[in-house]
Amino acid sequence: MKLETKAVHWGDRRRKAAAFTPTSTPIYASSSYLYNSMEQLDRVLGREEEGASYARYDNPTRAALEELVRELEGGAGAVACSSGMAALHLAVLASLVDRPRRVLAAAALYGSTTNMLMTVFGAIGVEATFVDICDFAAVEEAIAKVKPGAIVMETISNPLLRVGELDKIAQAARAAGAVLIVDNTFATPLLVRPLTLGAGVTVHSATKYLAGHGDVLGGVVVADKENFEPITALARTLGPVMSPFESYLTMRGIKTLPLRFERQCGNACKVASWLASHSAVERVYFTGDPAHPDAAAIQRLFPRNLYGAMVSFEIKGARRQEVFRFMDRLKMIVCGTSLGDVHTMTLYPAIASHRELSPKRRQQLGINDNLIRLSIGIEAAEDIVADLEQAFEN
Protein backbone atom coordinates (compact mmCIF):
# COMPACT_ATOMS: atom_id res chain seq x y z
CA MET A 1 0.00 0.00 0.00
CA LYS A 2 1.46 3.38 -1.02
CA LEU A 3 1.86 6.31 1.38
CA GLU A 4 -0.92 8.26 -0.36
CA THR A 5 -3.37 5.45 0.42
CA LYS A 6 -2.10 4.89 3.95
CA ALA A 7 -2.59 8.60 4.71
CA VAL A 8 -6.28 8.21 3.89
CA HIS A 9 -7.06 4.85 5.51
CA TRP A 10 -4.55 3.92 8.19
CA GLY A 11 -5.53 4.31 11.83
CA ASP A 12 -9.24 4.77 11.18
CA ARG A 13 -11.67 1.96 11.97
CA ARG A 14 -9.20 0.50 14.48
CA ARG A 15 -11.72 0.67 17.36
CA LYS A 16 -14.73 -1.46 16.44
CA ALA A 17 -18.10 -1.36 18.17
CA ALA A 18 -20.39 -4.37 18.50
CA ALA A 19 -22.86 -3.53 15.73
CA PHE A 20 -21.08 -0.90 13.65
CA THR A 21 -17.71 0.68 12.85
CA PRO A 22 -17.34 4.46 12.42
CA THR A 23 -15.63 5.43 9.16
CA SER A 24 -13.84 8.27 10.96
CA THR A 25 -12.11 7.79 14.31
CA PRO A 26 -14.28 9.38 17.04
CA ILE A 27 -12.99 11.89 19.56
CA TYR A 28 -12.74 10.03 22.87
CA ALA A 29 -12.98 12.77 25.47
CA SER A 30 -12.48 10.65 28.57
CA SER A 31 -9.77 10.62 31.23
CA SER A 32 -10.42 7.01 32.28
CA TYR A 33 -12.07 3.82 31.00
CA LEU A 34 -14.20 1.00 32.40
CA TYR A 35 -13.83 -2.76 31.85
CA ASN A 36 -16.10 -5.70 32.52
CA SER A 37 -13.78 -7.20 35.10
CA MET A 38 -10.85 -6.27 37.31
CA GLU A 39 -8.87 -9.08 35.72
CA GLN A 40 -9.14 -7.39 32.33
CA LEU A 41 -8.27 -3.96 33.77
CA ASP A 42 -5.25 -5.55 35.41
CA ARG A 43 -4.09 -6.92 32.06
CA VAL A 44 -4.60 -3.54 30.36
CA LEU A 45 -2.73 -1.65 33.08
CA GLY A 46 0.06 -4.22 32.86
CA ARG A 47 0.18 -3.72 29.07
CA GLU A 48 -0.54 -7.40 28.56
CA GLU A 49 -3.72 -6.56 26.65
CA GLU A 50 -4.36 -3.64 24.31
CA GLY A 51 -6.72 -1.04 25.68
CA ALA A 52 -7.08 2.40 27.21
CA SER A 53 -6.94 2.82 30.96
CA TYR A 54 -5.96 6.41 31.76
CA ALA A 55 -5.58 9.41 29.43
CA ARG A 56 -1.92 9.98 30.29
CA TYR A 57 -1.20 6.41 29.20
CA ASP A 58 -3.49 6.02 26.23
CA ASN A 59 -6.45 7.47 24.35
CA PRO A 60 -8.18 5.74 21.42
CA THR A 61 -8.16 8.87 19.23
CA ARG A 62 -4.51 9.54 19.94
CA ALA A 63 -3.67 5.86 19.44
CA ALA A 64 -5.23 5.95 15.98
CA LEU A 65 -3.10 8.98 15.04
CA GLU A 66 0.02 7.33 16.44
CA GLU A 67 -0.66 4.22 14.40
CA LEU A 68 -1.06 6.34 11.27
CA VAL A 69 2.15 8.35 11.68
CA ARG A 70 4.09 5.25 12.74
CA GLU A 71 3.05 3.58 9.50
CA LEU A 72 3.89 6.62 7.37
CA GLU A 73 7.37 6.86 8.90
CA GLY A 74 8.03 3.11 8.96
CA GLY A 75 8.64 2.93 12.70
CA ALA A 76 7.89 0.48 15.49
CA GLY A 77 5.79 2.93 17.49
CA ALA A 78 4.84 6.56 17.93
CA VAL A 79 3.82 8.96 20.69
CA ALA A 80 1.74 12.04 19.87
CA CYS A 81 2.75 14.97 22.07
CA SER A 82 1.40 18.36 23.07
CA SER A 83 3.91 20.22 20.85
CA GLY A 84 6.81 19.59 18.52
CA MET A 85 9.25 20.76 21.18
CA ALA A 86 7.68 18.39 23.71
CA ALA A 87 8.20 15.56 21.22
CA LEU A 88 11.83 16.53 20.64
CA HIS A 89 12.49 16.90 24.37
CA LEU A 90 11.03 13.44 24.96
CA ALA A 91 13.13 11.96 22.15
CA VAL A 92 16.42 13.39 23.44
CA LEU A 93 15.67 12.57 27.08
CA ALA A 94 14.75 8.97 26.30
CA SER A 95 17.81 8.50 24.10
CA LEU A 96 20.15 9.49 26.93
CA VAL A 97 18.62 7.25 29.61
CA ASP A 98 21.26 4.52 29.22
CA ARG A 99 23.78 6.31 27.01
CA PRO A 100 26.48 8.95 27.55
CA ARG A 101 24.98 12.30 28.48
CA ARG A 102 26.49 13.99 25.46
CA VAL A 103 24.67 15.32 22.38
CA LEU A 104 26.21 16.10 19.01
CA ALA A 105 23.91 18.47 17.15
CA ALA A 106 23.77 20.23 13.83
CA ALA A 107 25.00 23.80 14.07
CA ALA A 108 22.04 24.87 11.93
CA LEU A 109 18.89 24.06 13.90
CA TYR A 110 15.58 25.68 14.83
CA GLY A 111 16.41 28.29 17.47
CA SER A 112 14.29 26.69 20.20
CA THR A 113 16.00 23.34 19.62
CA THR A 114 19.41 24.92 20.11
CA ASN A 115 18.15 26.73 23.20
CA MET A 116 16.69 23.51 24.62
CA LEU A 117 19.95 21.63 24.19
CA MET A 118 22.05 24.41 25.71
CA THR A 119 19.82 25.52 28.58
CA VAL A 120 17.36 22.77 29.50
CA PHE A 121 19.68 19.82 28.95
CA GLY A 122 22.74 21.82 29.87
CA ALA A 123 21.21 22.48 33.28
CA ILE A 124 21.09 18.75 34.02
CA GLY A 125 24.65 18.14 32.93
CA VAL A 126 24.17 17.13 29.31
CA GLU A 127 27.02 18.38 27.11
CA ALA A 128 26.00 19.74 23.69
CA THR A 129 28.51 20.03 20.86
CA PHE A 130 27.61 21.55 17.49
CA VAL A 131 28.97 20.58 14.08
CA ASP A 132 28.38 21.41 10.44
CA ILE A 133 26.07 18.49 9.74
CA CYS A 134 26.57 18.90 5.98
CA ASP A 135 30.31 18.23 6.30
CA PHE A 136 30.34 14.47 6.73
CA ALA A 137 34.06 14.33 7.43
CA ALA A 138 33.56 16.86 10.24
CA VAL A 139 30.64 14.82 11.57
CA GLU A 140 32.74 11.64 11.65
CA GLU A 141 35.54 13.48 13.42
CA ALA A 142 33.12 14.97 15.97
CA ILE A 143 31.54 11.56 16.67
CA ALA A 144 34.96 10.08 17.37
CA LYS A 145 35.91 12.99 19.63
CA VAL A 146 32.64 13.61 21.49
CA LYS A 147 31.39 10.00 21.69
CA PRO A 148 27.78 11.20 21.91
CA GLY A 149 24.79 9.35 23.23
CA ALA A 150 22.56 11.12 20.70
CA ILE A 151 22.95 13.03 17.46
CA VAL A 152 20.32 15.65 16.57
CA MET A 153 19.73 17.02 13.07
CA GLU A 154 16.99 18.28 10.77
CA THR A 155 16.26 16.63 7.43
CA ILE A 156 16.08 20.12 5.90
CA SER A 157 17.61 22.79 8.10
CA ASN A 158 15.68 25.82 9.29
CA PRO A 159 15.86 28.41 7.70
CA LEU A 160 18.72 28.00 5.17
CA LEU A 161 17.45 24.64 3.90
CA ARG A 162 20.67 22.62 4.08
CA VAL A 163 20.50 18.83 3.71
CA GLY A 164 22.99 16.53 5.41
CA GLU A 165 23.85 13.03 4.25
CA LEU A 166 21.33 11.45 6.58
CA ASP A 167 21.96 7.85 5.54
CA LYS A 168 25.71 8.10 6.07
CA ILE A 169 25.28 9.93 9.39
CA ALA A 170 22.84 7.23 10.55
CA GLN A 171 25.38 4.52 9.76
CA ALA A 172 28.12 6.39 11.61
CA ALA A 173 25.82 6.96 14.60
CA ARG A 174 24.94 3.29 14.89
CA ALA A 175 28.58 2.27 14.63
CA ALA A 176 29.32 4.60 17.57
CA GLY A 177 26.36 3.40 19.65
CA ALA A 178 24.57 6.75 19.39
CA VAL A 179 20.92 7.39 18.52
CA LEU A 180 20.31 9.59 15.49
CA ILE A 181 17.29 11.85 16.13
CA VAL A 182 15.96 13.56 13.01
CA ASP A 183 13.49 16.44 12.97
CA ASN A 184 11.58 15.59 9.79
CA THR A 185 9.09 18.45 9.95
CA PHE A 186 10.18 20.28 6.79
CA ALA A 187 10.47 17.11 4.70
CA THR A 188 7.51 15.01 5.91
CA PRO A 189 7.47 11.25 5.17
CA LEU A 190 6.62 12.10 1.56
CA LEU A 191 10.17 13.34 0.94
CA VAL A 192 12.28 11.37 3.40
CA ARG A 193 11.64 8.57 5.90
CA PRO A 194 14.65 8.81 8.23
CA LEU A 195 13.96 5.53 10.04
CA THR A 196 14.22 3.58 6.80
CA LEU A 197 17.65 5.19 6.28
CA GLY A 198 18.95 4.06 9.67
CA ALA A 199 17.91 6.81 12.08
CA GLY A 200 16.67 5.66 15.48
CA VAL A 201 14.08 8.37 16.11
CA THR A 202 12.23 10.88 13.96
CA VAL A 203 10.24 13.87 15.22
CA HIS A 204 7.56 16.09 13.71
CA SER A 205 5.93 19.31 14.71
CA ALA A 206 2.42 18.14 13.83
CA THR A 207 1.39 21.79 13.94
CA LYS A 208 2.98 22.16 10.52
CA TYR A 209 2.47 19.96 7.44
CA LEU A 210 0.85 16.95 9.14
CA ALA A 211 -2.18 18.86 10.47
CA GLY A 212 -1.69 21.48 7.78
CA HIS A 213 -4.45 23.99 8.54
CA GLY A 214 -3.07 26.21 11.29
CA ASP A 215 -5.46 24.93 13.96
CA VAL A 216 -3.34 22.41 15.89
CA LEU A 217 -0.49 22.56 18.38
CA GLY A 218 1.18 19.17 18.58
CA GLY A 219 4.13 16.93 17.86
CA VAL A 220 4.84 13.29 17.14
CA VAL A 221 7.91 11.21 17.93
CA VAL A 222 8.38 7.93 16.04
CA ALA A 223 11.05 5.36 16.87
CA ASP A 224 12.45 2.06 15.76
CA LYS A 225 12.02 -1.04 17.92
CA GLU A 226 15.21 -0.45 19.90
CA ASN A 227 14.33 3.10 20.91
CA PHE A 228 10.56 3.04 21.27
CA GLU A 229 10.28 1.41 24.71
CA PRO A 230 12.16 4.12 26.65
CA ILE A 231 10.19 6.80 24.80
CA THR A 232 6.79 5.32 25.61
CA ALA A 233 7.85 4.60 29.23
CA LEU A 234 8.85 8.23 29.75
CA ALA A 235 5.70 9.46 28.02
CA ARG A 236 3.53 7.41 30.39
CA THR A 237 5.39 8.90 33.36
CA LEU A 238 5.66 12.52 32.26
CA GLY A 239 2.45 12.80 30.23
CA PRO A 240 3.42 15.29 27.47
CA VAL A 241 0.62 13.89 25.30
CA MET A 242 -1.60 15.37 22.60
CA SER A 243 -5.27 15.99 23.40
CA PRO A 244 -7.99 13.86 21.77
CA PHE A 245 -9.40 16.79 19.79
CA GLU A 246 -6.04 17.85 18.39
CA SER A 247 -5.27 14.19 17.63
CA TYR A 248 -8.48 14.08 15.60
CA LEU A 249 -7.65 17.31 13.74
CA THR A 250 -4.13 16.10 12.96
CA MET A 251 -5.43 12.80 11.67
CA ARG A 252 -7.98 14.56 9.50
CA GLY A 253 -5.28 16.84 8.15
CA ILE A 254 -2.99 13.95 7.22
CA LYS A 255 -5.65 12.54 4.88
CA THR A 256 -4.94 15.37 2.45
CA LEU A 257 -1.20 15.67 3.19
CA PRO A 258 -0.04 14.03 -0.07
CA LEU A 259 -2.28 16.29 -2.16
CA ARG A 260 -1.38 19.44 -0.25
CA PHE A 261 2.32 18.78 -0.13
CA GLU A 262 2.66 17.91 -3.80
CA ARG A 263 0.92 21.17 -4.71
CA GLN A 264 3.06 23.13 -2.25
CA CYS A 265 6.26 21.60 -3.64
CA GLY A 266 5.25 22.52 -7.19
CA ASN A 267 4.40 26.06 -6.17
CA ALA A 268 7.71 26.38 -4.31
CA CYS A 269 9.64 25.56 -7.50
CA LYS A 270 7.81 28.33 -9.36
CA VAL A 271 8.21 30.90 -6.59
CA ALA A 272 11.90 30.11 -6.07
CA SER A 273 12.55 30.44 -9.81
CA TRP A 274 10.77 33.80 -9.95
CA LEU A 275 12.62 35.14 -6.91
CA ALA A 276 15.97 34.10 -8.38
CA SER A 277 15.27 36.31 -11.40
CA HIS A 278 14.19 39.39 -9.44
CA SER A 279 16.60 42.32 -9.35
CA ALA A 280 15.84 43.09 -5.68
CA VAL A 281 16.74 39.59 -4.49
CA GLU A 282 20.32 38.93 -3.48
CA ARG A 283 20.08 35.18 -2.92
CA VAL A 284 17.50 32.39 -2.91
CA TYR A 285 17.72 29.27 -0.73
CA PHE A 286 15.78 26.32 -2.15
CA THR A 287 16.48 22.59 -2.15
CA GLY A 288 15.43 22.31 -5.79
CA ASP A 289 18.19 24.63 -6.96
CA PRO A 290 20.61 22.63 -9.17
CA ALA A 291 23.43 24.73 -7.65
CA HIS A 292 22.41 23.89 -4.07
CA PRO A 293 25.52 23.04 -2.00
CA ASP A 294 23.93 19.73 -0.97
CA ALA A 295 22.55 18.85 -4.42
CA ALA A 296 24.16 15.39 -4.42
CA ALA A 297 22.53 14.41 -1.11
CA ILE A 298 19.19 15.87 -2.20
CA GLN A 299 19.27 13.92 -5.45
CA ARG A 300 20.05 10.71 -3.59
CA LEU A 301 17.59 11.11 -0.70
CA PHE A 302 14.57 12.96 -2.16
CA PRO A 303 11.99 11.65 -4.65
CA ARG A 304 12.32 12.95 -8.17
CA ASN A 305 10.88 16.46 -8.69
CA LEU A 306 9.84 16.88 -5.03
CA TYR A 307 12.02 19.28 -3.08
CA GLY A 308 9.88 20.53 -0.21
CA ALA A 309 7.81 23.68 0.09
CA MET A 310 10.13 26.05 1.97
CA VAL A 311 11.92 28.92 0.23
CA SER A 312 14.17 31.50 1.88
CA PHE A 313 15.59 34.61 0.25
CA GLU A 314 17.59 37.73 0.98
CA ILE A 315 16.62 41.24 -0.13
CA LYS A 316 19.55 43.18 -1.50
CA GLY A 317 20.93 45.71 0.97
CA ALA A 318 17.90 45.44 3.26
CA ARG A 319 18.12 46.03 6.97
CA ARG A 320 15.48 45.07 9.52
CA GLN A 321 13.43 48.20 8.84
CA GLU A 322 13.31 47.57 5.07
CA VAL A 323 12.40 43.91 5.63
CA PHE A 324 9.56 44.96 7.93
CA ARG A 325 8.25 47.38 5.30
CA PHE A 326 8.34 44.67 2.63
CA MET A 327 6.46 42.21 4.83
CA ASP A 328 3.90 44.83 5.86
CA ARG A 329 3.11 45.44 2.17
CA LEU A 330 2.11 41.81 1.55
CA LYS A 331 -1.64 41.54 1.04
CA MET A 332 -2.38 37.82 0.60
CA ILE A 333 0.66 36.12 2.08
CA VAL A 334 0.29 35.69 5.83
CA CYS A 335 3.00 37.12 8.08
CA GLY A 336 2.74 34.38 10.68
CA THR A 337 4.96 32.50 13.11
CA SER A 338 4.51 28.99 11.76
CA LEU A 339 4.69 27.06 8.49
CA GLY A 340 3.11 24.20 6.58
CA ASP A 341 -0.38 25.70 6.37
CA VAL A 342 -2.56 25.69 3.25
CA HIS A 343 -1.91 29.41 2.89
CA THR A 344 1.50 30.87 2.06
CA MET A 345 3.25 32.27 5.12
CA THR A 346 6.28 34.47 5.59
CA LEU A 347 8.49 34.76 8.64
CA TYR A 348 11.47 36.88 9.65
CA PRO A 349 13.88 34.43 11.35
CA ALA A 350 15.81 37.13 13.22
CA ILE A 351 12.77 37.95 15.39
CA ALA A 352 10.93 34.61 15.30
CA SER A 353 12.39 31.14 14.72
CA HIS A 354 15.93 32.23 15.70
CA ARG A 355 15.18 35.11 18.04
CA GLU A 356 16.67 33.19 20.98
CA LEU A 357 20.11 33.20 19.33
CA SER A 358 22.45 36.16 19.70
CA PRO A 359 22.97 38.41 16.65
CA LYS A 360 26.57 37.19 16.51
CA ARG A 361 25.49 33.55 16.48
CA ARG A 362 22.88 34.21 13.78
CA GLN A 363 25.55 35.88 11.66
CA GLN A 364 27.87 32.91 12.13
CA LEU A 365 25.12 30.62 10.87
CA GLY A 366 24.44 32.82 7.84
CA ILE A 367 21.06 34.03 9.10
CA ASN A 368 21.41 37.62 8.00
CA ASP A 369 19.15 40.55 8.81
CA ASN A 370 17.89 40.63 5.20
CA LEU A 371 16.72 36.98 5.24
CA ILE A 372 13.03 36.10 4.85
CA ARG A 373 11.55 32.59 5.04
CA LEU A 374 8.54 31.56 2.96
CA SER A 375 6.30 28.56 3.59
CA ILE A 376 4.53 28.04 0.28
CA GLY A 377 0.82 27.23 0.32
CA ILE A 378 -1.66 25.68 -2.08
CA GLU A 379 -2.88 28.89 -3.72
CA ALA A 380 -2.35 29.52 -7.42
CA ALA A 381 1.38 30.09 -7.84
CA GLU A 382 0.63 33.15 -9.97
CA ASP A 383 -1.16 34.79 -7.06
CA ILE A 384 1.73 34.11 -4.68
CA VAL A 385 4.15 35.67 -7.16
CA ALA A 386 1.86 38.64 -7.78
CA ASP A 387 1.70 39.42 -4.07
CA LEU A 388 5.48 39.27 -3.73
CA GLU A 389 5.89 41.44 -6.82
CA GLN A 390 3.62 44.21 -5.61
CA ALA A 391 5.36 44.18 -2.21
CA PHE A 392 8.70 44.74 -3.96
CA GLU A 393 7.34 47.54 -6.14
CA ASN A 394 5.30 49.53 -3.62
Q: Report which DSSP code applies to 288.
A: T
Residue 97, C-beta contacts closer than 8 angstroms, at least 6 positions apart? 230, 234
172, 175, 179, 182: CA torsion to nearest 10: 20
Side by side, the strands of the sheet bearing 150-154 are 77-81, 219-223, 201-205, 179-183, 150-154, 102-106, 127-131
The end-to-end CA distance of the chain, in Å, is 50
Annotated catalytic residue 110: yes
DSSP state letters, 233-277: HHHHHH--BPPHHHHHHHHHHHTTHHHHHHHHHHHHHHHHHHHHT
Catalytic residue among 70, 102, 193, 208: 208
Residue 84 dihedral angles phi and psi, to the nearest 5°: -65, -40
Within 10 Å of residue 3's Cβ, how many Cβ atoms?
18
Residue 48, C-beta contacts closer than 8 angstroms, at least 6 positions apart? none
Catalytic residue among 12, 58, 183, 289: 183
Catalytic residue among 56, 283, 329, 361: 56
Taking CA atoms, 63 is separated from 76, 100, 148, 304, in Å, by: 13, 31, 32, 33
Annotated catalytic residue 215: no
Smallest Cα–Cα separation from 88: which of 116, 46, 55?
116
Catalytic residue among 12, 58, 70, 110: 110
Angle between the N-to-C axes of helices 320-329 and 381-393, in degrees from 0 to 180, rounded to the nearest 10: 130
The pairing of beta strand 310-315 with beta strand 281-285: antiparallel
Ramachandran assignment for 239, one of left (phi > 0), alpha (psi -120 to 50 degrees), beta (any other)? left
Annotated catalytic residue 98: no
List residues with catalytic annotation: 56, 110, 183, 208
